[in-house]
Copies of this chain bind each other. A is one copy, B any other.
Amino acid sequence: MAKSYDQYCPVAHALDLVGERWSLLVVRELLEHGPLRYSDLHCRLDGCGTNILASRLRDLERGGVVRRRQLPPPAASTVYELTEYGNELRPVLHQLAHWGARSLGPPSSEDELQPGWLVGALRMAFPAQATEACIEFRIGEETATLDAGDVREEGAEQPDAVVEGDAAAFFRLVVDRDFDTVSIRGSKPAVRALLDTLPPWTAAPLPPVPEPVAAS
């Protein structure tokens, strides 16, 4: 565990709890997928050494963010899950994700979007009970439904609206509120209302093209 910043400051203290490398990505996984086993976490977090993951899980547990639990006998295995307190990082990661998305840009060519990404993306983009409406998304190969704040895989029976397009169009919709790149059947106002729950960027319209995306 790294040294504490040792300042009486909410931000510094929060970073003492979840500011280390990989910590917030562990939280992200647990937020998106619920309780996970050690190995599931390990394979999802590519590049994170097994010792590091173990260390981070210990730290997060000590910090009251994550909790270990034994699954009931049928398939007894230990899983990691967020505590109540850890769950409240959702709005933080929500904000952070929207901030990051603006300079990340849309997926270049269906990058390595893993199967099931849409469900996680919706959960991250629209936390909690963003809307009462039932909206179905058909994005690329993926289909998911946002129903009264809950996200389900697969389509809906009586959706208020159906949003269709590719991943880049979905990106533009969520990040730039650009309606023109997706096709919307059904209640357009329902979709508009949903997007109005997103964090309103105070000013600056477009991403600053931060890096040449020089991957390691």
Q: A residues bordering B, Cβ < 8 Å?
A: 2-15, 17, 19-21, 24-25, 28, 46-47, 62-65, 83-85, 87-93, 95-104, 107, 111-113, 124, 128, 199, 201-204, 207-211, 215-216
Closest Cβ neighbor of A92 among chain B residues: B95
Task: Point out the residues of chain B lying under 8 angstroms from A21, CB to CB.
Answer: 2, 19-20
Pairwise interchain contact B4-A25, C-beta atoms closer than 8 A: no
Pairwise interchain contact A202-B128, C-beta atoms closer than 8 A: yes
Task: Point out the residues of chain B lying under 8 angstroms from A11, CB to CB.
Answer: 24-25, 28, 93, 96-97, 100, 124
Pairwise interchain contact A99-B89, C-beta atoms closer than 8 A: yes
Task: Point out the residues of chain B lying under 8 angstroms from A111, CB to CB.
Answer: 8
Pairwise interchain contact A210-B87, C-beta atoms closer than 8 A: no
For this chain, the copies found in one complex come to 2
CA–CA, A46 and B4, complex, Å: 12
CA–CA, A89 and B84, complex, Å: 25
Partner pick for A87 among B12, B202, B207, CB 8 A cutoff:
B202
> Can you name 6 extra interface pairs (CB under 8 A) apart from A10-B98, A64-B210, A85-B103?
A19-B21, A19-B24, A63-B210, A84-B208, A88-B99, A89-B99
> Min CB distance, A91 to chain B, in Å?
5
Task: Point out the residues of chain B lying under 8 angstroms from A10, CB to CB.
Answer: 96-101, 104, 124
